[in-house]
Chains A and B, each alone.
Chain A
């Protein structure tokens, strides 16, 4: 909601600077951003009463005082004779109507109204609708303007089953379904109550006689309708949060006053229909309860002064204003007081909880330690899948049809993770996930599962590089100490996967419950420590690798060469490692195999760029006597 600073300070006794105003708004919990004189407010959903100039001013009055600057139409108003029936008073306990006829609708707007449209209000429509929008900005009460000449027969408010196309005053058509609160005329829906009026009864530029409807709709009766029909309106936003049921006559008198400011009124009539009287809501005065909640030592007079400043009426009890739907208990009042004092001005009081023994070494931590120590990286996947199995849990309102079930296994996610990394030139992949899986039989069942997947080389050091990840590898890791393997290892065929890779894929999935305790007793969980690294964004460009074989005849320099190779670094060298170490006893030489992986953050590297870099990094090495690179 946008508010003009100049408009807001008109409602305050003191005229704070923008900085002071902003500071106090934050203290009260009203977040906002400021651009020139416009405050773009983001109010919490419980504070519908603040969605207007007067609403914010009522809160700010505790700091800056309130000015009484609302001009109302003070003349007597004749009673309105209107054929109206409220068939659903629980949805609309109070509604008022104002009928005004003016001599001329083509008028020049006064500066305050003109300025509202220039700074906040957007496009103008017609005099009555424009005044309605302005009144909502000023007082927080939406009103709806019917062209009086069209409302000839009985006007009905009802909550009725709909299956009909409704044309809004903005020209859009929506298909109304289920039950909706509506106004109808001759059995035709002319307004979707609390959301938007219809085209057939809307005012136009030439309308001179208007019927202004001003209502309180029960928030629960209209909530969600605006989003359901994609009819986002200021009115719906306010009605859903609750308006002031006691303000209708004041609002319509203000409406009349703004009309009077612009045109000569020929006739004016008013009628209010009250189906249920608003019950005063009172809370006993008890400052000790407030101090007990906040941990403060506030005195009674201070307490009551703050509440009065916020518009509460104090007698034997605290009377909650009719617009404060959010105040019911002492905890609510404690929040009011904390806002006035300032949350940051409440002093901390230490708490000392009884220390508990740390619960380290649980099953998950032990599995994690085992897997991470053996080169496995953990992934976390979203549980949504298009695959529906008999026991799958179905999402009623999925994001899309590809995510309308919960997975019953971790397998597909882990295969996808594997292929994703293979496409990024990874040739040694070990991944695992530990997640809860949900299935249904008669009841919903929860199982904590471990899934792990491997493919490619066992590692990149010269011992593991030539070996492939296989069943034997997993057996050694998981089943070595058990005569009957407790983990079932399955090969996943690549035939149905979108890949040209040939390395075999092996997969294990098990419920943690199914792993015998004896497996865990042999494991230990490492004490976890965290290193808050400074993350470097990863490149999305492809990497390229180059392997080099070094023949070293002068054995004294072997470790010097390895040190040099290990310490090569460059912006485009992502990684390098010794993948082969071979002693040729016959020839008395040592051969080193070294792999360099090139990748840029800026582009896909060309062969010539890589070759240039290769020459640069290798030239100091081949200058050694007794070191050569065959083929170079």
Chain B
């Protein structure tokens, strides 16, 4: 008969917590982009209209500036940033090309339904140097999407419209069920934006792109309802090792 003291104690497994899946994806994208050569820059979530809209060539008549799309704060003096692009504007004002910045974080839109949340996350990048072209942009987007979805993923560029880029494109990937899924927006930085940031558009050009973190998270993990990310349910969070 065994002696009690000879019996090994059962192992105690360390119970780990989890980082939030949205932050996991955000950190993953940041790492992917810093490995390419982008530098992370930070900025405030409460912005002025000037940095959130004017500097980015979003004119007063643009629908995004209406009260139904944007949260205004403190007597219309400020907005909750609707994208992370103002962070890049602040970055450009403080540096001289060549620059390669990424900004990541929370953004806000006045929306709340099954597929839209009033707060979500973006990762945006900008690269300004001499002779940056649309052909360079295509190469960069291919690098990013191959890293994210594998070398064999089929990629499609479509003309689109953003006030701060021209030409502008939206990029789709072909999903397993044969449908094109929109993944990101990108384009050649509108020379007006460079000028606003005291960068000579005759000498320099730039490319820019932006990804929705929730969208990437939903695709990569197979989460169908965006609202699940913000219920703080431990059963949900525990799955994201």
Contacts and interface: CB of A to CB of B under 8 A. Distances in A.
B10 interface: yes
Given A351-B140, A396-B74, A382 B119 contact: yes
B74 A383 contact: no
B96 interface: no
A192 interface: no
A381 B241 contact: no
B67 interface: yes
A219 B61 contact: yes
A566 B44 CA distance: 48
Interface in A51-96: none
Given A348-B135, A356-B37, A358-B34, A379 B20 contact: yes
B7 A220 contact: no
A562 interface: yes
Contacts, number: 280
* Contact count band on B: 35 or more
B114 interface: no
B61 to A, nearest CB: 4
Given A338-B159, A339-B159, A461-B15, A424 B235 contact: yes
A585 B159 CA distance: 77
Contacts of B18: 372, 377-378
B135 A379 contact: no
B37 A353 contact: yes
A28 B25 CA distance: 33
B200 to A, nearest CB: 14
Contacts of A224: 63, 66-67
Nearest to B1: A555
B19 interface: yes
B160 interface: yes
A420 interface: yes
A334 B188 contact: yes
A528 B241 CA distance: 11
B147 to A, nearest CB: 12
Interface stretch (A243-251, A255-263, A291-299, A489-497): A291-299
A417 B8 CA distance: 39
A588 B4 contact: yes
A346 B134 contact: yes
Interface stretch (A39-47, A307-315, A513-521, A613-621): A39-47
B37 A355 contact: yes
A538 B223 CA distance: 11
Contact of A349 (B27, B133, B238): B133
Nearest to B33: A353
Given A380-B20, A394-B74, A533 B239 contact: yes
A368 B190 CA distance: 38
Contact of A555 (B4, B36, B73, B133): B4
Interface in A264-314: 292-296
Interface string A549-560: 000000110110
A528 B239 CA distance: 16
Contacts of A440: 74
Contact of B169 (A343, A355, A356): A343
B10 A581 contact: yes
Contacts of B166: 329, 331-332, 334-335
Contact of A396 (B72, B100, B159, B222): B72
Interface in A365-402: 368, 371-384, 393-399
A223 B61 CA distance: 6
Nearest to A585: B4
B20 A399 contact: no
Contacts of A197: none
B134 A338 contact: yes
A566 to B, nearest CB: 9
Nearest to A534: B222
B239 to A, nearest CB: 6
**Which residue of A292, A393, A444 has the most chain B CB atoms within 10 A of its CB atom?**
A444
Interface stretch (A97-105, A201-209, A425-433): A425-433
B5 to A, nearest CB: 8
B133 A538 contact: no
A329 B194 CA distance: 14
A528 B27 contact: yes
A343 B4 contact: no
A371 B17 contact: yes
Contacts of B230: 380-382
B31 A528 contact: yes
Nearest to A406: B73
Contacts of B119: 382-383
Given A335-B168, A397-B72, A378 B132 contact: no
Interface string B181-194: 00000001011000
A406 B167 CA distance: 37
A45 B63 contact: yes
B156 to A, nearest CB: 6
A41 to B, nearest CB: 14
Contacts of B9: 581
Given A395-B71, A444-B46, A556-B2, A417 B232 contact: yes
A142 interface: no
Contacts of B106: 436
Given A380-B22, A462-B12, A349 B136 contact: yes
Contacts of B80: 395
A378 B17 contact: yes
Interface string B156-180: 1111110000111100000000000
**Which residue of B9, B13, B73, B231 has the most chain A CB atoms within 10 A of its CB atom?**
B73
B188 A375 contact: no
A436 B45 contact: yes
A438 B17 contact: no
A293 B61 CA distance: 27
Given A394-B74, A399-B112, A559-B8, A353 B127 contact: yes
Interface string B39-71: 110001110000000000001111100111001
A535 interface: yes
Given A335-B159, A581-B9, A348 B142 contact: yes
9 contacts: A223-B63, A224-B67, A331-B167, A346-B135, A353-B127, A358-B31, A380-B229, A438-B44, A538-B235
Interface of B: 1-4, 7-10, 12-20, 22-25, 27-28, 31, 34-40, 44-46, 59-63, 66-68, 71-76, 78, 80, 98, 100, 106, 110, 112, 117-119, 127, 131-136, 138-140, 142, 156-161, 166-169, 188, 190-191, 205, 220-224, 229-241
**List of 9 A-B pairs having minimum Cβ-Cβ separation, nearest first:** A353-B37, A29-B159, A295-B135, A295-B133, A335-B167, A44-B161, A343-B157, A349-B135, A348-B139
Interface of A: 26-29, 31, 44-47, 219-220, 223-224, 227, 240, 292-296, 326, 329, 331-332, 334-335, 338-339, 343-344, 346-356, 358-359, 368, 371-384, 393-399, 403, 406, 416-417, 420-421, 424, 426, 429-432, 436, 438, 440, 444, 446, 459-464, 528, 530-539, 555-556, 558-559, 562, 578, 581, 583, 585, 588, 590
Given A348-B139, A462-B10, A559-B10, 13 more contacts: A223-B61, A223-B66, A292-B205, A293-B205, A294-B133, A331-B188, A349-B136, A378-B23, A393-B73, A438-B45, A530-B24, A555-B7, A581-B9
